[in-house]
Copies of this chain bind each other. A is one copy, B any other.
């Protein structure tokens, strides 16, 4: 039998309440989700922020997992302490080690359900291939963004984020709850299959590879002077190209996409995510790529699962 243990995290952001609610229902009714014999640890990422109904208390927990911060001795930020705590309790070198971390989020952007991976770790590419092959979710590959780092799942050998939207912060929503539950069940089932090597890996993985993020146009005081153009609002995953309208203002002026580094159509995601305005992100641009599935991903994943 595999010793694999899966860390399931909800409420890493305290105002994303749907996944924590599902976890709470699950705690009260163990039959709600089949574990397929897997050892799983469901945990609330940021309990105090959840209690307060805020994204975070001192800083974004999901940007607090990079080594410099985890090794710092003199921070008083609640989230840095919590990041250390989670790694100490469930990290790969802890007494209660988990090898896979799945972090359940929601977004105000109209993205539907998607998976997010950070960089190109082979085991991550394997597991999201399994889930995409099963229920078709898009995979957002976040890489090459030095301004955004320290994501929770990076502190585990394998892991990814599940993003489900659109839903306002602090709203329990029928569709979001059901899709969170569905995705969670599928994740556990796919991991369990890999224990006895029954996984169905696809031949291709479709990724939306991060190219860059852009900010709202702002005045000298830092206030936005324009908003997402009406034709772009809610059009996550739909390709646009140079010349496409992206912002508009109250005078009727339109700002169009104009980026010489974009040779082809780009696919915006996280359009107008409410929590990203403070990070100076109005949307992220991705490039859609179809990759051949690489057997080294499978090998890495099987090795992780069955070692």
Contact = CB atoms under 8 A, between A and B. Distances in A.
Interface of A is mostly: loop
Interface string A228-270: 1110010000000000000011110000000000000000000
Contacts of A274: 168-171
Contacts of A250: 22, 25, 29, 32, 177, 181
Contacts of A169: 168-170, 274
Contacts of A54: 54
A171 B229 CA distance: 13
A170 B216 CA distance: 14
A303 interface: no
Nearest to A24: B223
Given A250-B22, A250-B25, A250-B181, A272 B173 contact: yes
Question: Max chain B CB contacts within 10 Å: which of A21, A29, A216, A227?
Answer: A227
Given A25-B250, A230-B175, A250-B22, A170 B32 contact: no
A275 interface: yes
A224 B21 CA distance: 9
Given A29-B250, A173-B272, 11 more contacts: A21-B227, A25-B249, A108-B171, A169-B274, A170-B274, A171-B272, A171-B277, A172-B228, A172-B272, A174-B228, A174-B233
